[in-house]
Amino acid sequence: MLHPHTTLRLASPAKGLGIFATQPIPKGTVTWVLDPLDQVITAEQAARVRAGLSTALLAAFDHDYYRLRDGRYILTHDNTRFMNHDCAPNCVHAAADVEIALRDIAAGEELTNDYAGLLDAHEAFACACGAPCCRRWIRPDDVQARPEHWRDAVLSAWSRHLQVEQPLGELLAQSSLGPRRRLRA
């Protein structure tokens, strides 16, 4: 489930739709958590589905599902599939089923994620996010190039999660990062 203080609107003609904060979202806030309405399929199931799709439907599958680092695919029931890539994202997956704000997100600001590590090999793409650190080309293995950066960024954001309001707290409690589990370095 996507954070309730967000809305869907046009990000730009090049990007298409995007998700925007309707009020400030503090660092450490859960911005998305897997919920019972989201559909999760294994890599094997995805391969069977992909094999039977036309080119047009394959493009829709690749746009609407996203791959987790553990190989599973998720089709979210809400607007989460419209979260755009950015090389300097303000959100990141803290676990396969939880995404958090890496920094404070201002009202009106687009919520973004770095797609590297969440792509299949055929999904590499040219990037035009405009960030000063833009890599210009996004590949599935980009995230492995800076594992300590992402680990430190996630741990820093997660260290704040108990200090900020969590509108998705009920679902967070049921997630892999629920109350008895800890995020590990």
Is the pLDDT confidence value at 89 over 90?
Answer: yes
pLDDT-wise least confident of 20-29, 43-52, 156-165: 43-52
Query: When comparing pLDDT for 125 and 29, which is higher?
Result: 29
State both tokens at 12: 């730009």
Asked if the model's pLDDT at residue 183 lies above 70, the reply is: no
* 6 or 140, greater pLDDT: 6
pLDDT of residue 143: 67
* The model's pTM: 0.88
Q: What is the mean pLDDT of residues 67-90?
A: 87
Query: How is residue 174 written in tokens?
Result: 């049921």
Query: What Cα–Cα distance (Å) separates residue 141 from each residue in 8, 149, 152?
Result: 29, 14, 18
Name the phi and psi angles at 138, rounded to 5: -105, 125
Residues 9-33, mean pLDDT to the nearest whole number: 95
Of 181 and 87, which is predicted with more confidence? 87
pLDDT in tens, 94-130: 888 899 999 999 999 999 998 877 777 777 888 888 8
Most confident listed range (11-15, 140-144, 162-166)? 162-166
Structural domains in the chain plus CATH codes: 6-168 (2.170.270.10)
Cβ atoms within 10 A of the Cβ of 176, count? 14
Residues 31/149/95/112 CA torsion (nearest 10 deg): 30
User: How does DSSP assign the chain, residue by residue?
Assistant: -B-SSEEEEEEETTTEEEEEESS-B-TT-EEEE--TTSEEE-HHHHHHHHHT--HHHHHHHHHHEEE-TTS-EEE-SSGGGGPEE-SS-SEEEEETTEEEESS-B-TTPEEEE--TTSS-GGG-EE-----TT--SEE-TTGGGGSHHHHHHHHHHHHTTTTTS--TTHHHHHTSTT-TT-----
Which residue bears the tokens 């800076």? 146
pLDDT tens sequence across 38-75: 999 888 888 888 888 888 887 777 777 777 767 788 88
